[in-house]
Amino acid sequence: MPNLDPCLPVILGSHHRLDGQNPHLIFHIKYY
């Protein structure tokens, strides 16, 4: 996982656990 911002891995991990989806996919949906 690219280290884009210190807050993002925590957010991605949270969404990954809550949504049960791929964290990269959630990242692209929610942050792009």
Tens-place pLDDT, residues 1-32: 555 555 555 555 554 454 555 555 555 555 44
- pLDDT at position 32, please? 42
**What pLDDT, on a 0 to 100 scale, did the predictor assign at position 12?**
52
From the CA atom positions of the chain, what is the Rg in Å?
A: 9
Tracing tokens 């911002």 back to the chain, one arrives at 5
Euclidean distance between CA atoms 23 and 14, whole angstroms: 9
pLDDT of residue 23: 56
pLDDT of residue 16: 47
- 3: domain range? 1-32
Number of domains in the chain: 1
pLDDT at 13: 52
